[in-house]
Structure 1
């Protein structure tokens, strides 16, 4: 049996368990015996959960160098680098997996000094400032959760051979019990039930779903919307339901640990109002639960939902509420089409978005990376400078071109 490789997972995030955190927990839980996890994080919730599973875990507060802020602490940053070198030596780490890009800022240097291969898994698009200051281009290997997330880095010249797109996967777990949503929320048998899941933030577009619900309830059918999740927009969304006289039709049920049971609880359709989305793991969960999906054609969603195959996609922007409403109405009025899309979605979710497939793909990248030569200092310098071409074009050349265009137009 080959020796086990110690993998240091470094996760930067807020104090909750959401998309990137859940992906990391799932990956660690399904690693083969060839790899053993050591985790270092600034997420206290993640730290406690991993400790309860007897995973070796370190907790620290992380500090980033941010050029858009007036002050940042170089001493704290250097302290993180020193902690990294201590953990690498203490556990004889053979591979570093940075989960979300922030920790690359100090882990890239630590990896180079210790001659340890490093990959970074990015779960969302990063703006130009972050791609530069977090040194994403210096990572020896990148894993993006969708082609949409990978595109900006590839456009700036990050080598295609060092970037892999590995879609997220979810466990196909058997539900412990069934939820009767109509009974729990006192919804009439004839009413149509829409469900959505996500953080209650502007980007997720729950306000758009509530607007669409108001339009749908002007039809003879009665519609209800179940929203699973919490966030900063909760009070604004509740105020919106009051203005639109939908207090009895929109059900805010908060965070739920058994999302799959809610999705399988008798809803008619899963709906998304996202303004942007890196991947859309919850769309896979909805498909696995047997729901057809209505979602916008943004970000990585089209890599999960194929229009008229396992859901309907609509365009954000002009007339987006009308397009969203029409897509919902189309599937509600056509049970046969809804059933076909739901069946297709379940088969696609099982075949292409399983957790085991995700883990196998990532472990294959681990093995390839372990067999590659280390990056040279010249490679790292080239990576650090690569985003400066984009910075020069957007901050210098584009304004000059716009000024010249305005001058000639005048």
Structure 2
């Protein structure tokens, strides 16, 4: 019988349940009984979810240090460090999992002081400023949700042997009770229905999908677009819909608890307009729901969707709207191709992106860390913090010197 490992999971995020929060909840639901989780977070919505599941939770405000601020709240940072030490002692923590980059700012030091093995899971790429101020390089082990997320850290010198890419996984989805989206939204049976899911923010590119829909509806064929999600861009999207006279063709249905039922409810295609994407978990959901996928070739999406095999990828840029329209038309006009992509996509999603596989990989990394312990010296830990400065020197200082020299020579 394996001894129980007391696992502290620290999560930083806004008050919602989206990508990294959903992945955390899935992990907690599937962890073996060898791990007893305790969660420390600033996310009030997540606190309610975890409390309902019976998970021990500590809630607090997390104030970060940023070089872009006029002043640092050193007192707040010290308080977070002290709270971390107290939680580790209270629950006799054996292992720490930081579920986003931000808490590394105080957790790597706390883990080092207490000699507790720690990993940080990166759900998105971080810019140079954040890689430095969040002290990401000081994490004993990194887990990235895609190779695209891992690349900036590896390029900057983070040891390859200490970084593992673990693609997100999703639980088996229940498609036994799909809803009829055409009936729900009064969409004619002859119309083509496109669907997309995500937060209504600029990065998700729903404005691009609305532009593409306007082009598609310039022909005799009737196309509708269902957008599932909520966010700060709702009013801008409504204005765009009104301007393009698409009020009856675009359906903003808000947040839905049964996304899979909507995806499997009679839609023809899943379309993404993302300007950037760390992984694209919803693309896996769409594939499992039996939809062919059209998505941009950005970030980690190409690790989820293989062009012309499990979906169609297009390039963002000057011709992106034409590319979206062309890909949609190609699949709408060729049911045979759509069926092939759908079947392959569904099988790949089952084989490569299951929650069981994801959890097995995470537990394997947990066990490796427990076996390794903490061996890094304080000097090595401190030196790791300075890696982003080499990038700054190379990309900013040397570039500036080169520019000045070129100006003098001219």
TM-score, length of structure 1 as denominator length: 0.98
Equivalence map 1:80-159=2 (5 Å)? 80-159=80-159
- In 1, Cα distance between equivalents of 2:313 and 2:47: 38
- In 1, Cα distance between equivalents of 2:363 and 2:55: 18
User: Which deviates the most, 175-184 or 107-116?
Assistant: 175-184
Which runs of structure 1 show a deviation greater than 6 angstroms over 4 or more consecutive aligned residues?
Answer: none
Task: Spell out, residue by residue over 1:78-137, the C-alpha distance to the aligned partner (whole angstroms, 9 max, x if none).
Answer: 111111000000111000000000000000110011100000000000000100111100
Match of 1:364 in 2: 364
Match of 1:391 in 2: 392
- In 2, Cα distance between equivalents of 1:383 and 1:99: 20
1:176 is displaced (CA, Å) by: 5.2
- In 2, Cα distance between equivalents of 1:406 and 1:220: 58
Are 1:305 and 2:305 an aligned pair?
yes
Q: SS at the partner of 1:248?
A: coil
Equivalence map 1:65-76=2 (5 Å)? 65-76=65-76
Task: Spell out, residue by residue over 1:263-287, the C-alpha distance to the aligned partner (whole angstroms, 9 max, x if none).
Answer: 0000000000000000000000000
Cα–Cα, structure 1 residues 199 and 406, in superposed 2: closer, same or farther, change >3 Å?
Answer: farther
Task: Spell out, residue by residue over 1:147-183, the C-alpha distance to the aligned partner (whole angstroms, 9 max, x if none).
Answer: 0000000000000000000000000132352200000
Q: SS at the partner of 1:371?
A: helix
Match of 1:287 in 2: 287
Are 1:47 and 2:44 an aligned pair?
no
1:399 is displaced (CA, Å) by: 1.8
Are 1:229 and 2:229 an aligned pair?
yes
Q: SS at the partner of 1:102?
A: coil
1:404 is displaced (CA, Å) by: 2.9
User: Which deviates the most, 109-118 or 375-384?
Assistant: 375-384
CA contact (8 A) 2:175 2:289 kept: no
- In 2, Cα distance between equivalents of 1:323 and 1:81: 49
Task: Spell out, residue by residue over 1:322-358, the C-alpha distance to the aligned partner (whole angstroms, 9 max, x if none).
Answer: 0111011100000010011011010000000000100
CA contact (8 A) 2:116 2:373 kept: no
Match of 1:36 in 2: 36
1:407 is displaced (CA, Å) by: 4.6
Q: SS at the partner of 1:253?
A: strand
1:401 is displaced (CA, Å) by: 1.6
- In 1, Cα distance between equivalents of 2:157 and 2:306: 29
- In 1, Cα distance between equivalents of 2:69 and 2:176: 48
1:371 is displaced (CA, Å) by: 1.0
Which ranges in structure 1 are unaligned for 5 or more consecutive residues?
none
CA contact (8 A) 2:275 2:298 kept: yes
- In 2, Cα distance between equivalents of 1:342 and 1:395: 46
Are 1:78 and 2:90 an aligned pair?
no
- In 1, Cα distance between equivalents of 2:324 and 2:96: 42
- In 2, Cα distance between equivalents of 1:12 and 1:304: 26
- In 2, Cα distance between equivalents of 1:302 and 1:54: 37
Are 1:20 and 2:20 an aligned pair?
yes
- In 1, Cα distance between equivalents of 2:7 and 2:72: 30
Pairwise CA RMSD: 0.9
Task: Spell out, residue by residue over 1:354-393, the C-alpha distance to the aligned partner (whole angstroms, 9 max, x if none).
Answer: 0010000000000111111412212211210111100111
What is the aligned length?
409
User: Which deviates the most, 62-71 or 299-308?
Assistant: 62-71
CA contact (8 A) 2:8 2:38 kept: yes
Match of 1:188 in 2: 188
Which ranges in structure 2 are unaligned for 5 or more consecutive residues?
none
Match of 1:381 in 2: 382
- In 1, Cα distance between equivalents of 2:16 and 2:118: 25
CA contact (8 A) 2:41 2:58 kept: yes
- In 2, Cα distance between equivalents of 1:112 and 1:266: 53
User: Which deviates the most, 6-15 or 375-384?
Assistant: 375-384
Match of 2:209 in 1: 209
Are 1:327 and 2:288 an aligned pair?
no
1:406 is displaced (CA, Å) by: 4.5
Q: SS at the partner of 2:219?
A: coil
